[in-house]
Amino acid sequence: MKINSDDTIVAISTLIGEAGIGIVRLSGPDAISIASKIFQPKSKKLVKDFPTFKINLGKVTDNNNFIDEVLLMTMRAPKSYTCEDVVEISCHGGIVPLKKTLELCVKNGARLADPGEFTKRAFLNGRIDLSQAEAVCDIIKAKTDLALSCAVSQLNGSLTKIINKQKNVITDILALIEVTIDYTEEEIPNIDKIEMIKKINGVDKELKKILSTFQTGKIFKEGVRTAIIGKPNVGKSSLLNALIGQDKAIVTEVPGTTRDVIEETINIFGIPLILMDTAGIRKHSYDVVEKIGIEKTREEIQNADLVLFVLDSSNELSAEDFHIAELLNLKKVILVLNKSDLPKKLDEISSLKLHATLMPVSAKENEGIEKLKKAIYELFIEGKVNTSEFFLTNMRHKILIENSIGSLENTKLSFENGVSEEFIALDLKAALNFLGEITGEVPTEEILNRIFSNFCVGK
């Protein structure tokens, strides 16, 4: 699909703030002419005569009013990110020179880009497919090396190759079916149903193999949302500080110090662990602010992938501990027995009736923290991860593959029950279309808007 853009877009492509450099990016048919109106090169060459992929020193000016000394690079269509004429202006990375340069581009005919519009144009102009476009966003948002590895693999076309290989098999089967439909009076050999089912089973197996990687891939991409809970003053904030390696949460001897949820993300063996230090839970509180904090804690428990239930091993179980345990039904739980540096009084943990890993730690002395991290990792990842393998990370892709498998199952049932070829062909086409949606062969405006709205402006 080719997009014929009549307009030229512009955006600041780097984070706005104080930095060494910041980049203003133009893309579209007038990118070079707009740049020539605001850029005065140090050399005597005109911007339109600049060689592609060459950096040129000069000034951004507004009617001879000096704005900034910059570097400008032109990338002519189709050899650019968007397959359009692209100009990148590297300014000093302050807010004022970047915004001034952006305003000048708009003043001279560009319009502000929508979120993800540069990548959207790259997709619509055929430079990348839709799954690769989504990978660009994942690369930007990657929190660990493993998350980055998954995204780069998809950007390099690993998912596209897998999907296209299975589509080719389905297409071959569909071609045979349609021949029998179109040429019923000709002497065409009967379809070998056993062979067809065998091929469909092969595709089904490969698609399910991709699906089996989703849970691990989703963890690499999105991380494990982890709620640190417990009654007041058991050391939840101390545990958060020990896990992240800095004093982020306030720690005092006063129960109820934490009133709001404190969120931090750390990397444990390649998994992003999103930690929430929550307000201590107790059945009765007469403090209005504390009540709100406790309610937020209950919400975090419901949304968490993992709960670190912190107990004070230097004290016996209390009614509040049992009350909290009742909230953890069907949750993955690790019982963190904190204050292991003090004489132990806690026993009969089995009375909590929780199927959970027990981890003694001393958050204060930083003891057992690495073992706790390892236990968290092993709870979600089985065995050693081979980073060269492909991992499915995108929920949209998962749903479409499941839908395709469903259509293939219908195809097998139709073969087995002697259903006419027309209905078999419909199911095969549905299976193909679902897989085609992954790479964007038949994109809808709604899907594209939903995907690219998640991008930052300027990419």
What angle is formed at CA 33 by the lines to CA 32 and CA 35, rounded to 5 degrees? Answer: 65
Q: Which of 189-198, 334-343, 403-412 has the lowest mean pLDDT?
A: 189-198
Q: Thinking of the domain 9-127, which architecture would CATH place it in?
A: 2-Layer Sandwich (3.30)
Which residues are CB-neighbours of 453 under 8 A, at least 6 positions away? Answer: 115, 116
**CA–CA distance, 75 with 81 (Å, rounded to integer):** 9
pLDDT single digits (tens) 227-243: 999 888 898 889 999 99
Strands, sheet with 86-93, edge to edge from the N-terminal-most edge strand:
39-41, 55-62, 65-75, 86-93, 19-27, 9-12, 111-112
**Helix (H/G/I), strand (E/B), else coil: 446:** helix
**Rounded Cα distance, 350 and 282, in Å:** 21
Residue 437 has pLDDT above 80, yes or no: yes
- Which tokens go with 311? 């107990």
User: What is the rounded distance in angstroms from the CA atom of residue 177 to the CA atom of residue 156?
Assistant: 34
Mean pLDDT for the chain overall: 88
Same CATH fold assignment for domains 9-127 and 226-380: no
Domain covering 226-380, topology:
Rossmann fold (3.40.50)
pLDDT grade for 285, boundaries at 50, 70 and 90: low
E strand or H helix at 173, and its extent? helix 158-182
Residue with tokens 């900034």: 68
Mean pLDDT of 70-89: 96
Q: In the structure, what pLDDT confidence band is assigned to residue 250 with cuts at 50, 70 and 90? A: very low
Domain residue ranges in the chain: 9-127, 135-213+392-439, 226-380
Determine phi and psi for 379, rounding to 5 degrees.
Answer: -70, -25
* Cis ω for the linkage preceding 189 (within 30 of 0): no
| Residue 409 pLDDT greater than 60, yes or no | yes
Residue 75 region, left (φ>0) first, then alpha (ψ -120 to 50), else beta?
Answer: beta
Strand partners, 311: 337
Please state, in angstroms and rounded to a whole number, the distance separating the CA atoms of residues 155 and 320.
Answer: 50
Percentage helix, strand, coil for the chain under 3-state DSSP, each rounded to 5: 45, 20, 35
pLDDT, tens digit (0-9, with 9 covering 90-100), for 42-62: 988 899 999 999 999 999 999
Length, in residues, of the chain = 459
Name the burial class of residue 271, with classes exposed (0-12), middle (13-18) and buried (19+) by CB atoms within 10 angstroms of its CB.
buried
Query: How does pLDDT run across 95-153, given as a tens digit for each residue?
Result: 999 999 999 999 999 999 999 999 999 999 999 999 999 999 999 999 899 899 999 99
Q: How many CB atoms lie within 10 A of CB 283?
A: 10
Indicate the pairing of strand 357-360 with strand 333-338.
parallel
pLDDT surpassing 80 at residue 282: no
**Count of C-beta atoms within a 10 Å radius of residue 342:** 13
**CATH code that applies to domain 135-213+392-439:** 1.20.120.430
Q: Is the pLDDT of residue 279 over 80?
A: no
Cα dist. 97→32, 58, 213, 313, 457 in Å? 20, 14, 46, 58, 18
